[in-house]
């Protein structure tokens, strides 16, 4: 093994080990209850005895009923503001003394009436606005705290500002005329205030105190007591006891160093085995992914992106685990790789999450089949709108699978609620992050998706429009080459869309000097007649470098630029080299000056492009386009490229090359309308 390969293998192993460490580090440290059970179904294991003393927890329904009962006799709490009442009265009397202009005898009489009305209203109490309590009626009960004493009264026992104002008006209208009604009325309206105030804090404290007094348990199971026998039907009572035991298992490791460590060791073993299977599966079945570090790293990052948040939800909100949009991982895998890889990665990810999630079997079944639906719907997608069809399919699949699992395991739909529908709707909304995430991963890891390739291969893109308008001959050439590449890769297997797109951009460097290339020359004048063979060679060679620069200027992905830089490999500009040798036989010529800078092709797709580019360009110069001449041309060009070691870095086989030749011959004869000579 070469040194470079050794280092790459070390980095791959380190990436897996780091991922294993992160997963185990974040995995909840709770003991897993080893039994799977469902209500109203037989107990499928041997008879179960209590391994330790544990309480029987009340069901959520029982707790809810007790809470409702506890809150039934609970009333909102109001506070009687005595200090403000007395302070307002003092200010009112002071204001009265300042504004009184009559005799002392009448002053005393008016003051007595003023105080009487104020005390009558304020002593009974003016209740503050109770619009927060829409369900309160005049006969509703409230608790009022006055001088640290709590009394329960009806809401109608208190004045409101309106009833207090009506009382003042009615009282003043019935008394004798020598009373200053205007002054008294004005003062009362100014200083009578709401002195029975709602206390949210006291109400909340009282409510919490009432709820905290409710016991979460209602009995105990003693150690070695028989819980359930083999084959016994799991009734509501047995189901609740089993749930209580499972809950105790999840809590018993807290503060138990020994249990926590055993749990940790088990998690390390299982997680290690899962990632080890992934390591060898990719190495043996998908070496193309395994050899490319960025592909491995992206897969591991995507898995962590689903696993770690799932662990957080399981730890703090276990009932909300279905909010996690796990189908995102399957959709991203299909987008960047294929359905087989997507299914395998998704299964392994679900296994890891299921190690920590409650009701792991049901969870795995639902998530697995929803993921399959997402993969099947999205596979071979040719438009971004297909994603929205996938989102709808995910939502419907969750609903159908939840109904099915409820019917099988619960014997009815009692546990299927609108809350579940809301959770699945949130899951689907989160799944819509797939598109922006795929765009993000494209940029971060340097991948291109089929959607991006389809957009790039649109001939109305700015760069292809520039090529078509400034170098029309080259544009026709690249379109023919793209067709040849697509047909060849269809026959031997490969990424047809990637090769077609790469072929459409491989000669964009010619837009810098379009008239230096034969396909764009319309007249008899040839610019190379005025240049030396060396200068002409440099112009031709530089169209590769120019193409790379132009592609980067137009933000073309590196995977497409690879086609630009490799489509001539390290071959010579043969015509100019031979002419230089012919005209300067006695001069020592540096062959490197007439060679492209490379690199040579490194994949099936880039190799096929080199073949198609040379074959298509050479076929245009054939005088007699016959079956024999085309066969000879194709064989000669491709054999010369093989002899020049242009394909040693690819995984092309001799069978592949033979197939490619046949495809090119058939395609060129079809283009030039050559009749095949059938034997007589």
For residues 86-92, give the mean pLDDT.
90
Instruction: Please state, in angstroms and rounded to a whole number, the distance separating the CA atoms of residues 92 and 416.
Output: 64
Q: In the numeric block, which tokens belong to residue 497?
A: 């869309």
Relative orientation angle of helices 604-619 and 496-505, to the nearest 10 degrees: 50
Instruction: Please state, in angstroms and rounded to a whole number, the distance separating the CA atoms of residues 309 and 323.
Output: 11
Q: In the numeric block, which tokens belong to residue 581?
A: 């040798």
Taking only the tens place, the pLDDT of each residue in 181-222 is 888 889 888 898 888 888 888 888 888 887 777 788 888 888
Q: What percent of the chain has pLDDT over 70?
A: 92
Domain over 450-671 is classified CATH 1.10.3210: yes
Q: Three-class SS of residue 457?
A: coil
At residue 449, the pLDDT reads: 80
| Residue 241 near residue 227, CB atoms below 8 Å | yes
Which of residues 318 and 90 earns the better pLDDT score? 90
At residue 130, the pLDDT reads: 62
At residue 678, the pLDDT reads: 46
Taking only the tens place, the pLDDT of each residue in 102-136 is 888 788 888 888 888 899 988 989 988 666 556 67
Question: What ranges do the domains of the chain cover?
Answer: 72-210, 283-445, 450-671
Q: Which 8-state DSSP code applies to residue 140? A: -
At residue 215, the pLDDT reads: 81
Q: Which of 436, 375, 370 is nearest to 398 (CA)?
A: 370
Which of residues 307 and 71 earns the better pLDDT score? 307
Q: Which of 512, 506, 523, 504 is nearest to 471 (CA)?
A: 512
Q: Which of 304, 228, 321, 261 is nearest to 31 (CA)?
A: 261
Taking only the tens place, the pLDDT of each residue in 358-402 is 778 888 999 999 999 999 988 866 566 778 889 999 999 999 998
**26: number of Cβ within 10 Å:** 16
Which of 97-111, 213-227, 518-532 is predicted least confidently? 518-532
At residue 230, the pLDDT reads: 82
Residue 678 dihedral angles phi and psi, to the nearest 5°: -85, 145
At residue 677, the pLDDT reads: 52
Q: Kindly report the CA angle at 60 between 56 and 63, in degrees rounded to 5?
A: 80
| Residue 397 near residue 373, CB atoms below 8 Å | yes
pLDDT at 680 over 70: no
Q: Which of 390, 389, 270 is nearest to 342 (CA)?
A: 390
Relative orientation angle of helices 472-492 and 654-671, to the nearest 10 degrees: 130
At residue 463, the pLDDT reads: 93
Q: Any residues with CB less than 8 A from the CB of 266 and at least 6 apart, and which? A: none
Instruction: Please state, in angstroms and rounded to a whole number, the distance separating the CA atoms of residues 504 and 478.
Output: 5
| Bridge partners (DSSP) listed for residue 146 | 149
Q: Which of 242, 228, 284 is nearest to 43 (CA)?
A: 228
Q: Three-class SS of residue 542?
A: helix
Q: Is the pTM of this model over 0.85?
A: no
Q: Which of 375, 369, 357, 344 is nearest to 275 (CA)?
A: 344
Long-range Cβ contact pairs of 168-173 (< 8 A, separation 24 or more): 168/117, 168/121, 168/192, 171/117
Total residues found in the chain within this entry: 680
Whole-number mean pLDDT of the chain?
85
């Amino acid at each position: 093994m070469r040194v470079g390969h050794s280092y790459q293998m070390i980095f791959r192993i380190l990436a897996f080990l780091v991922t294993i460490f992160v997963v185990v580090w974040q995995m909840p440290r709770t003991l897993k209850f080893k039994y799977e059970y469902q209500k109203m179904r037989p107990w499928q294991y041997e008879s179960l005895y209590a391994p330790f003393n544990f309480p029987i927890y009340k069901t959520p329904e029982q707790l809810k009923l007790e809470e409702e009962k506890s809150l039934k006799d609970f009333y909102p709490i109001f506070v009687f503001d005595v200090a403000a009442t007395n302070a307002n009265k003092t200010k009112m009397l002071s204001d009265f003394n300042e504004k009184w202009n009559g005799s002392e005898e009448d002053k005393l009489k008016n003051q007595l009436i003023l105080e009487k009305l104020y005390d009558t209203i304020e002593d009974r109490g003016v209740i503050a606005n109770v619009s927060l309590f829409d369900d309160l009626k005049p006969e509703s009960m409230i608790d009022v705290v006055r001088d640290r004493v709590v009394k329960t009264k009806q809401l109608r026992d208190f004045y409101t500002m309106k009833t207090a104002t009506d009382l003042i008006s009615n009282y003043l209208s019935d008394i004798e005329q020598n009373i200053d009604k205007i002054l008294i009325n004005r003062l009362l309206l100014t200083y009578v205030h709401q002195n029975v105030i709602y206390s949210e804090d006291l109400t909340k404290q009282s409510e919490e105190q009432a709820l905290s007094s409710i016991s979460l348990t209602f009995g105990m199971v003693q150690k070695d007591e028989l819980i359930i026998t083999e084959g016994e039907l799991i009734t509501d009572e047995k189901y609740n006891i089993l749930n209580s035991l499972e809950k105790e298992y999840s809590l018993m490791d807290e503060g138990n160093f020994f249990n926590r460590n055993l749990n940790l060791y088990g998690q390390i073993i299982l997680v290690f085995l899962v990632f080890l299977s992934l390591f060898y599966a990719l190495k043996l079945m998908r070496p193309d992914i395994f050899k490319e570090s960025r592909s491995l790293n992206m897969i591991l990052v995507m898995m962590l992106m689903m696993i770690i948040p799932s662990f957080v939800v399981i730890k703090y909100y276990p009932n909300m685990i279905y909010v996690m949009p796990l189908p995102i991982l399957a959709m991203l895998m299909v987008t960047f790789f294929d359905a087989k890889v997507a299914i395998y990665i998704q299964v392994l990810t679900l296994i890891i999450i299921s190690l920590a999630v409650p009701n792991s079997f049901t969870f795995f079944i639902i998530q697995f089949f929803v993921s399959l639906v997402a993969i099947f719907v999205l596979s071979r997608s040719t438009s971004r709108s297909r994603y929205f069809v996938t989102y709808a399919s995910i939502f419907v699949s969750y609903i159908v699978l939840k109904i099915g699992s409820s019917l099988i395991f619960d014997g009815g739909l009692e546990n299927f609620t609108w809350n579940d529908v809301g959770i699945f709707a949130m899951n689907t909304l989160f799944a819509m992050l797939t598109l922006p995430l795929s765009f993000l991963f494209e940029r971060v890891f340097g991948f291109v998706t089929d959607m991006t390739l389809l957009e790039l291969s649109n001939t109305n893109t700015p760069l292809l429009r520039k090529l078509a308008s400034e170098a029309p001959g080259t544009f026709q050439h690249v379109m023919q080459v793209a067709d040849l590449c697509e047909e060849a890769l269809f026959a031997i297997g490969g990424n047809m869309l990637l090769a077609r797109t790469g072929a459409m951009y491989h000669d964009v460097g010619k837009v810098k000097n379009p008239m230096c290339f034969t396909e764009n020359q319309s007249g008899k004048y040839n610019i190379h007649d005025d240049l030396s063979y060396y200068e002409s060679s440099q112009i031709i060679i530089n169209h590769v470098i120019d193409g790379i620069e132009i592609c980067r200027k137009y933000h073309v992905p590196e995977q497409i630029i690879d086609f630009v830089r490799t489509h001539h490999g390290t071959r010579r500009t043969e015509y100019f080299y031979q002419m230089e040798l012919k005209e300067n036989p006695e001069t020592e010529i540096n062959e490197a000056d007439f060679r492209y800078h490379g690199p040579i092709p490194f994949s099936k797709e880039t190799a096929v492009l080199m073949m198609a580019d040379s074959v298509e360009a050479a076929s245009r110069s054939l005088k007699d386009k016959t079956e024999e001449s085309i066969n000879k041309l194709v064989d000669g060009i491709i054999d010369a490229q093989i002899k020049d070691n242009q394909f040693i870095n690819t995984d092309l086989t001799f069978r592949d090359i033979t197939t490619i030749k046949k495809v090119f011959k058939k395609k060129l004869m079809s283009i030039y309308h050559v009749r095949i000579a059938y034997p007589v």
